[in-house]
Amino acid sequence: MTRVYESRKRILVTGGAGFLGSHLIDRLLEQGHEVLCVDNLFTGTKRNLDHLHANPHFEFMRHDVTMPLYVEVDEIYNLACPASPVHYQHDPIQTTKTSVHGAINMLGLAKRLRCKIMQASTSEVYGDPTVHPQKEEYWGNVNPIGIRACYDEGKRCAETLFFDYHRTLGLPIKVARIFNTYGPRMHHADGRVVSNFIIQALCNDPISIYGDGSQTRSFCFADDMVSGFIKLMESDGDVTGPINLGNPHEITIRELAERVISMTGSTSHIVSRPLPADDPLQRQPDITKARSTLGWEPNVALEDGLGRTIEYFRKRLKELTLA
């Protein structure tokens, strides 16, 4: 018990009521740390945290990271930002403010505390890539005035801020570029392809694919992603990133739809919709750096992860029906 207490940290997770944030908090608490979750509940939900309220090492604070925060912690994971197109395009100005002002405020807090801070960046910084798979050295192909720019450019600016704080002030930073991630606790109406397909299949509704479905994505299960976050945070001080975290196994959107239909036993059929503006045609991480630097790579096969996610949404749909 003494060893656990001596190694215990007080860790701030912004956006902790969200899909990935809540899984990260679970893992940190399992490791014996104290966790302060900060979230304004714009896209996150307290339902993701209900199982933690009796835990004496967990604390929730409703707060918007675009406003300064004054707390005492040992580490910061900055995950606060809407991450699905449906949510981040709902209020694009606020999305940009969350990425940029949120980064400034969290970096200011880390500067005062002289603590490590990890930025949850995104593969969207690569835009619609002309390089495949995407390496960290690739600068990206982003439309700075498109409908996705509030998120893409907001995250790119946040990375700029992190590295300027590191270069000018010596602040210990970590930057993770997150590729498509899925799993239990995804929002049922977030518009992401995995949640969309599963909900439509379970309801036996037509499954909507955009374009002909030949565009590709690479899907990483939440448990694997959280392991990557923690390995990055615990890595040597000279490891700043940016570092790609994702599953390099590439699959077309149509193949994913067919697999979900098969696994759910659905009677759904596939229908095509117009391709959204600036939707990337290919997305696959090169995780060579994560493998060599962190000793990390995903372990959960798509079939297994989809099975667990489907079961989560079966239960969630029953709850929504009874509500």
Q: Is 302 helix (H, G, I), strand (E, B) or coil?
A: helix
Q: Is 11 helix (H, G, I), strand (E, B) or coil?
A: strand
Beta-sheet pairing, 250-252 with 216-218: antiparallel
pLDDT surpassing 70 at residue 42: yes
Element (H, E) at 85: helix 85-88
pTM of the predicted model, to two decimals? 0.92
Q: How far apart are CA 123 and CA 246, in angstroms?
A: 9
CATH class of 2-322: alpha beta
Element (H, E) at 255: helix 253-264
Distance in angstroms between the alpha carbons of the first and the last residue of the chain: 43
DSSP 135: P
Give the residue extent of every domain in the chain: 2-322
Q: Give the tens place of pLDDT for each residue, 220-277.
A: 999 999 999 999 999 998 999 999 999 999 999 999 999 999 999 999 999 998 877 7
Average pLDDT, the chain: 93
Q: Are the beta carbons of 276 and 211 closer than 8 angstroms?
A: no
Q: How far apart are CA 142 and CA 121, in angstroms?
A: 15
| pLDDT in the model for residue 1 | 36
Q: How confident is the model at residue 303 (pLDDT cuts 50, 70, 90)?
A: very high
Q: Give the tens place of pLDDT for each residue, 174-230.
A: 999 999 999 999 988 777 899 999 999 999 999 999 888 888 889 999 999 999 999
Name the residue with tokens 């390099």.
248
Of 151, 165, 182, 210, which one is the catalytic site residue?
A: 151
Q: How confident is the model at residue 278 (pLDDT cuts 50, 70, 90)?
A: low
The one-letter code for the residue type at 143 is N
Angle formed by the axes of helices 92-113 and 149-169, nearest 10°: 20
| pLDDT in the model for residue 211 | 85
Q: Is 151 a catalytic residue?
A: yes
